[in-house]
A and B are shown apart, each in its own frame.
Chain A
Amino acid sequence: MKKILFLLLSLLSLLVCLISPFLYFFGRIEEKDHKLIFLLASAGWFVFATLWSSIRKKNHRLK
């Protein structure tokens, strides 16, 4: 369950990283907001993807 949650959260973070520059390009957000969103979403990706990867690795070891 946790594994799926972390996977979803990491993918969501990556999606936000991708959407943020497009929002800036289309003039929906300011440049500084885009950079802040990108930074936070990147941090989210690293946290959740690392957690997902470590659970995945632990499961592999148990098998």
Chain B
Amino acid sequence: MNGSLSRLTSRMDHLYEFDREPVSPEKFQTGARFAGLFAGEHVAATEFVIGAFFVLHGVSLHDLAVGLLVGNFLAVLSWTLICAPIATRTRLTLYWYLRRIAGPGLNFVYNIANALLYCILAGAMIAVSATALGLVFGISIPSLDDVFPRSFGWIALTLAIGAVFTILAVLGFEKLSRFAQVCSPWIFILFIAGAVALLPRLGVHANFDNFMEIARTKIWNGVAAQGQEKFHFGHILFFAWFCNLAMHMGLSDMALFRYARSWIYGLYSSFGMYLGHFLAWICSGIMVAAVGREMHPGLMAFEAAGLAGAAGVFIAGWTTANPTLYRAGLALQVITPNWPRWKVTLFAGLTTTFLSCFPVFFMKLLDYVAIYGLVLMPIGAIVFAEHWIFPLLKINQYLAEKNKWLFNWKAASVWAGTLALCFFMPIHLFFRWLPGYVFALVVYVLLNIFKRK
């Protein structure tokens, strides 16, 4: 068992070999590049769904505006004060840093968990694209409570789109990435254009004099759609904060910030947060209100901008699913001995395509985003403790690396224990990660307190 796991982890090391060495100063990137990266990554297909869901969950205008302002600010601070400082000190990806702390075995488990979560996210993006193409073929999209597909048309559509996305990802990930870079400014414009074009339908006058009244009474009116839970200020604040939990507190974005000149570059994440997770979410909220509160990204954009709008939703789903498929493929490559890159991408694509048929991942995207962050968050707490708290308390660091452990069982126990605790917490799913993070941090330190120098 140990032997085969060792072989798997050494294969995994080989895959990530290209970024094993700390980033050298000549490879540091400019602030403008960070601003562009964040703005592009956080104005994506998910934004069509998330902002619209806030409306369906009956958020009031005040709760939305203040919740997003504060929640996004906390997210920016998390990147700036938690993720970027560790990345700029180590200049390593989370993969290599976690390997030193948790051992290659636990690192392997983390990668597999990450791959599965990526596949589900890419599946949801295929579903978003399907809402746009479904308009052409007159295929109705699932309702808000659907878990399983209800029509053959939906299954056929998602399978067809998933197959096309997978084939294109297999044929050339890099070309598609370049195409995605071209798309991202236009997709941002599509959000603004869509919202503005649908304002007359909501009754907003050309001089904007009744905009606030319409926003309060017809868009974020505080009335949840049937069967949807009512959201308040706290839900919005926490959602905006944890939406990219795996990236900031979970430290995945060490991969980006190792190229930053200083930890202050974490502030560039505000370009993603306030353009994507503020402006784009508000725009998609306006669009869903204007189409009769129907969760149908394709219809929202089609009504707002015609064919180009529907094409925009399709492209946004595609360009979001493509890198996600790539990352899932990269993580899965370790368990597929001697498989070439195309075969692994094909496998990840087929898994993703199968998952995309199930509307639950698309219709429960907010819950899924919460679970995604929650599952990976304890690893961030473990790394944070080892990096900052261990030296303060004079606890020996990197024991897994020094003792050549395959598994750091303390880290594994903290990860599993935190998830078990979060599962049973008697509070809303959105709020569980914060006590979970503190728990993971404290328990990991306590378990190691006797390993002092």
B-contacting residues of A (Cβ < 8 Å)? 14, 17-18, 20-22, 24-27, 31, 34-36, 38-39, 42, 45-46, 49-50, 53, 57
Given A14-B185, A21-B193, A53-B181, A27–B206 Cβ distance below 8 Å? yes
- Interface residue ranges of B182-201 to A (CB < 8 Å): 182, 185-186, 189-190, 192-194, 196-197, 199-200
Question: Per a CB cutoff under 8 Å, which of B196, B305, B306 touches A25?
Answer: B196
> B178 contacts which chain A residues (CB < 8 A)?
53, 57
Interface of B is mostly: helix
Question: Are the C-beta atoms of A17 and B306 separated by less than 8 Å?
Answer: no
Residue of B whose beta carbon sits closest to that of A50: B182
Digitize B161-186: 1 where CB-to-A-CB distance is under 8 Å, 0 elsewhere. Answer: 00000000000000000110110011
Interface residues of B in 282-335 (CB under 8 A from A): 304-309, 311-312
Which residue of B has the minimal Cβ distance to A28? B206
What's the Cα separation between A42 and B182 when bound, in Å?
Answer: 11
Query: Which B residue's beta carbon lies closest to that of A15?
Result: B189
Size of interface on B: residues with Cβ below 8 Å to A: 25
**Which of A17, A21, A36, A39 has the largest count of B CB atoms less than 10 A from its CB?**
A21
Given the complex of chains A and B, what is the CA–CA distance between A40 and B237 in angstroms? 39
B308 in contact with A35 (CB, 8 Å): yes
Bound-state Cα–Cα, A56 to B181, Å:
13
Question: In the complex, what residue of chain A is closest to B302 when comparing beta carbons?
Answer: A35
Is B196's CB under 8 angstroms from A17's CB?
no
Residue of B nearest to A40 (CB): B308
Number of residue pairs spanning A and B whose beta carbons lie under 8 angstroms apart: 64
On B, residues with C-beta under 8 Å from A are: 178-179, 181-182, 185-186, 189-190, 192-194, 196-197, 199-200, 204, 206, 304-309, 311-312
Chain A residues contacting B193 (CB-CB under 8 Å) are 17-18, 20-21, 38
Q: A residues within 8 A CB of B309?
A: 35, 38
Taking the closest CB of chain A, its distance from the CB of B223, in whole angstroms, is: 26
Cβ-defined contact, A45 with B186, below 8 A: yes
Chain B residues within an 8 Å CB radius of A46: 182, 186
A34 to chain B, nearest CB (A): 6
- Which chain A positions have C-beta within 8 A of B304? 21
**Which 7 pairs from chain A and chain B are nearest by CB?**
A35-B306, A21-B197, A21-B196, A21-B193, A39-B308, A42-B308, A49-B182
- Chain B residue at minimum C-beta to C-beta distance from A39: B308
Give B311's nearest chain A residue, CB to CB.
A42
From A34, A39, A42, give the contact of B197 (CB < 8 A). A34
Bound-state Cα–Cα, A25 to B201, Å: 10
Instruction: Pick 5 A–B contacts, CB within 8 A, sort by A.
Output: A14-B185, A24-B200, A35-B307, A39-B308, A53-B181
- Find chain A residues with CB under 8 A from B200 CB: 24-25
Distance from B23 Cβ to chain A, minimum over Cβ atoms (Å) = 19
Task: Give Cα A17–Cα B312 distance, bound, in whole angstroms.
Answer: 12
Residues from chain A with a CB closer than 8 A to the CB of B197 are 21, 24-25, 31, 34
Shortest C-beta distance, B203 to chain A (Å), equals 12
Cβ contact within 8 Å between B192 and A39: no
Q: Hey, which chain B residues are within 8 Å of A31, CB to CB?
A: 197
Tell me whether B206 and A14 are in contact (CB under 8 A).
no
